[in-house]
């Protein structure tokens, strides 16, 4: 039987399928009756689901990272697709094909990591190259980097999403540098790699993609700065000389300013060419990913507009068939 992927779900249709539990919790309705709220996922996307009249025993059997077979009916609520469930049954991992649930296969993830390292090892400055080696040869750090998303829900919000975000930004940076010769290529590439390293401590590498305590209390900009400060002495040992103070200052500034504006959580406004470039690349990839993900996962594929994107405070126009996203008209 053909699998019903999340991206294939349509309003007002019956569902009987296995999905991955990304998150779940018991909530009371207006009358105080408990219901189960879940986020169900597969490799094509995720969808909210609700089971009325649930209890603690069911919550304990439905665990994040586990699989469930659900039965129910889809509906659109406040512009978003959800499943109203009539039945939920846990399923053993041995009964599913993992490839149906991972946005990135292990092979693709390994390819991304290898490509990431290949680009970064093209950096020529010996101090920056040594700094990169500190991170690239740290197996614990690289294991976390491979698992965390780029964010909770905004863009690249899936295991391995941060690596995809970094690789895309590195490719954009290499395209941009020849157009702006005054921008230091080595510094920009290293800044791209470092700008979100704090997310390896900010976000839990699990199926719920929650914030860690450090992530909630400190945030990835400050955590990234701490990681940079801890790595520089190790880079100095590799090179055998002191890390240049201005180079260190420029890297710190790039981490702390990459959000671009104070209202977006930036500690400083970008004040060097490389910091300005970093912010622009980060903004471009995050917004394009959010836009395309919203269009591709929209629960109303026949409509001309997507559901409302609260993070970006807008809907996206899909058109009426003249040109699908990614098509090129001549």
The total number of structural domains that make up the chain: 2
Q: Look at residue 279 in the predicted model and tell me its pLDDT.
A: 98
Average pLDDT over residues 13-35: 90
Q: Three-class SS of residue 38?
A: strand
Query: Does 83 share its domain with 114?
Result: no
Q: Which residue has the higher pLDDT, 77 or 237?
A: 237
Average pLDDT over residues 99-112: 78
How many CB atoms are closer than 10 A to CB 178?
A: 9
Average pLDDT over residues 196-221: 83
Query: Does 126 share its domain with 261?
Result: yes
**Residue pair 198/223 in contact by the 8 Å Cβ criterion:** yes
What CATH number does the domain containing 34 carry? Answer: 2.40.50.140
Average pLDDT over residues 298-309: 76
Query: Does 90 share its domain with 114?
Result: no
Give the pTM. 0.81
Query: Does 206 share its domain with 271?
Result: yes
Query: Does 74 share its domain with 198?
Result: no
**Residue pair 238/130 in contact by the 8 Å Cβ criterion:** yes
pLDDT at 329 > cutoff 50: no
Q: Give a yes or no: residue 280 inside a domain.
A: yes
Q: Which residue has the higher pLDDT, 153 or 279?
A: 279
pLDDT at 209 > cutoff 90: no
Q: Is the Cα torsion angle 321, 42, 312, 306 positive or negative in sign?
A: positive
Structure token digits, residue 259: 């959000």
Q: Look at residue 41 in the predicted model and tell me its pLDDT.
A: 86
Query: Does 114 share its domain with 93?
Result: no
Query: Does 189 share its domain with 268?
Result: yes
Mean pLDDT is highest, among 31-40, 59-68, 93-102, 174-183, for 174-183
Query: Does 194 share its domain with 133?
Result: yes
Q: For 102, which DSSP code?
A: -
Tell me the per-residue pLDDT of 227-236, one tens digit each, with 9 for 90 and over: 999 999 999 9
Q: Look at residue 163 in the predicted model and tell me its pLDDT.
A: 93
Enumerate long-range contacts of 101-105, CB under 8 Å, 24 or more apart: 101/19, 101/20, 101/41, 101/42, 101/43, 101/67, 102/43, 102/159, 103/43, 103/158, 103/159, 103/160, 103/161, 104/158, 104/159, 104/160, 104/164
Average pLDDT over residues 93-108: 79
Structure token digits, residue 106: 């292990």
Q: Look at residue 299 in the predicted model and tell me its pLDDT.
A: 66
Residue that terminates a domain, selected from 99, 125, 159: 99
Looking at the chain, the whole-number percentage of residues with pLDDT higher than 90 is 55
Enumerate long-range contacts of 275-281, CB under 8 Å, 24 or more apart: 275/191, 275/250, 277/173, 277/176, 277/180, 277/183, 277/188, 278/188, 278/191, 278/192, 278/195, 278/254, 281/169, 281/172, 281/173, 281/176, 281/192
Query: Does 121 share its domain with 161?
Result: yes
Query: Ramachandran region of residue 324, left (φ > 0), alpha (ψ -120 to 50) or beta?
Result: beta
**Burial per residue of 126-151, b for 16 or more beta-carbon CB atoms within 10 angstroms, e otherwise:** ebbbbbbbbbbeeeebbebbbbbbbb
Structure token digits, residue 273: 């060419």
Q: Whole-number mean pLDDT of the chain?
A: 88
Q: Which class for 32: exposed (0-12), middle (13-18), buried (19 or more C-beta within 10 A)?
A: exposed
Q: Is the Cα torsion angle 274, 278, 284, 285 positive or negative in sign?
A: positive
Q: Which residue has the higher pLDDT, 254 or 107?
A: 254
How many CB atoms are closer than 10 A to CB 217?
A: 10
Q: Which residue has the higher pLDDT, 171 or 264?
A: 171
Q: Which residue has the higher pLDDT, 107 or 192?
A: 192
Q: Look at residue 154 in the predicted model and tell me its pLDDT.
A: 65
Q: Give a yes or no: residue 300 inside a domain.
A: no
Q: Give a yes or no: residue 329 inside a domain.
A: no
Tell me the per-residue pLDDT of 120-149, one tens digit each, with 9 for 90 and over: 999 999 999 999 999 999 999 999 998 888
What torsion, rounded to 10 degrees, do the Cα atoms 98, 104, 39, 264 define? 160
Average pLDDT over residues 53-63: 89
Instruction: Residue 116: give the domain boundaries.
Output: 103-291
Query: Does 43 share its domain with 112?
Result: no
């Amino acid at each position: 039987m053909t699998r019903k992927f999340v991206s294939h779900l349509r309003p007002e249709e019956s569902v009987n399928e296995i999905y991955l539990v990304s998150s779940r919790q018991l909530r009371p309705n207006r009358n105080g009756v408990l219901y189960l709220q879940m986020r169900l996922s597969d490799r094509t996307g995720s969808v909210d689901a609700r089971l009325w009249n649930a209890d603690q025993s069911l919550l304990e059997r439905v665990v994040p990272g586990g699989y469930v077979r659900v039965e129910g009916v889809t509906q659109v609520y406040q512009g978003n697709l959800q499943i109203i469930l009539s039945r939920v049954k846990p399923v053993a991992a041995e009964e599913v094909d993992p490839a149906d649930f991972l946005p990135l296969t292990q092979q693709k993830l390994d390819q991304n990591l290898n490509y990431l390292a290949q680009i970064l090892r093209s950096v020529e400055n010996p101090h920056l190259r040594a700094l990169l080696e500190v991170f690239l040869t740290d197996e614990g750090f690289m294991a976390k980097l491979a698992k965390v998303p780029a964010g909770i829900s905004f863009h690249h919000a899936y295991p391995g999403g941060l690596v995809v975000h970094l690789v895309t930004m590195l490719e954009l940076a290499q395209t941009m540098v020849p157009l702006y010769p005054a921008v230091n290529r080595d510094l920009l590439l290293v800044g791209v790699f470092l700008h979100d390293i704090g997310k390896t401590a900010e976000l839990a590498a699990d199926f719920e993609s929650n914030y860690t305590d450090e992530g909630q209390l400190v945030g990835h900009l400050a955590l990234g700065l701490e990681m940079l400060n801890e790595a520089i002495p190790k880079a100095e040992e590799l090179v055998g000389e002191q890390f240049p103070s201005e180079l260190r200052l420029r890297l710190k500034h790039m981490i702390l300013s990459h959000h671009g504006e104070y209202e977006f959580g930036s500690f400083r406004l970008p004040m060097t060419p490389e910091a300005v470039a970093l912010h622009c690349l980060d903004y471009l990839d995050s917004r394009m990913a959010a836009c395309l993900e919203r269009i591709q996962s929209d629960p109303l594929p026949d409509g001309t507009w997507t559901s409302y994107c609260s993070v970006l405070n807008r809907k996206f126009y899909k058109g009426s068939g003249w040109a699908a996203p990614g098509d090129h008209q001549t």
